[in-house]
Amino acid sequence: MNTENTNNILSATDLCREFKTAEGLLEVLKGVTLEVKRGQMAVIMGASGVGKSTLLHILGGLDNPTSGEVTIGQKPLSGMSEADRARFRNKRVGFVFQHHYLMDDFSALENVMIPMLLSGESRSQSARKAELLLDQVGLSSRASHRPDELSGGEQQRVAVARALANDPEVVLADEPSGNLDTETGRMLHDLLHRLNNEKQTSFVIATHNRELADNCNVEFRLVGGKLTGC
């Protein structure tokens, strides 16, 4: 694999992740290697508990591999301090989880503003951009509403807008429609595809959803700690 290929927005080489348990060493990832190119929408399929979330956390710098390397936009994560990696994540990587993880006491607009404020943007500039993002996900009329005043689908759309706040090079989504009903989940999938087409933002999505996987550019399958292309 040529990790110097500038068309690759995300690459991982020989990722291994082990956990110590009462029964001994648990190997979750066993030499995972992948490449995702700019503008691609990649999906990672696999059974529950196989390690998809662990892999996404490592790809996004939320967890460290036992061995191996992750590179985002030609920048390796391994040499960064925790503080540098946190700043890098905030600016270069977006996250969408199965649960929205919105701040309960803040409005939809304020939730989308948070990553921008943390990166040093002014409040007025952050608010303007957050308004545009909420409009892009079809929620401009709900900007002042708090999470408990939104439906499940609306909460996830706010989470998607927040993930895009700092124009990340890649968005990592972990079962983004897992808590939604079929129709709402389909609407969320359509939104992700539209944003991918319009913004050329790369997505890596862990999911069980066959319909979502069939509409992605690249499909990987995680089995027995190893990743294969489909």
How many Cβ atoms from other residues are within 10 Å of residue 45's Cβ?
A: 22
Is residue 80 classed as helix, strand or coil in its secondary structure?
Answer: coil
Could you report the per-residue pLDDT of 186-204, keeping only the tens digit for each? 898 999 999 999 989 999 9
Is the per-residue pLDDT at 159 higher than 50?
A: yes
Backbone φ and ψ of 26, nearest 5°:
-105, 115
Question: What is the C-alpha separation between 63 and 212, in angstroms, rounded?
Answer: 26
Average pLDDT over residues 145-159: 96
Supply the pTM of this predicted model. Answer: 0.91
Answer yes or no: are the C-beta atoms of 227 and 44 closer than 8 Å.
Answer: yes
**Beta carbons within 8 Å of 166's beta carbon, 6+ residues apart:** 90, 91, 92, 94, 115, 116, 119
Q: Is the pLDDT of residue 5 over 80?
A: no
In the predicted model, what is the mean pLDDT of residues 101-123? 97
Domains of the chain, start order: 39-63+80-214 (3.40.50.300)
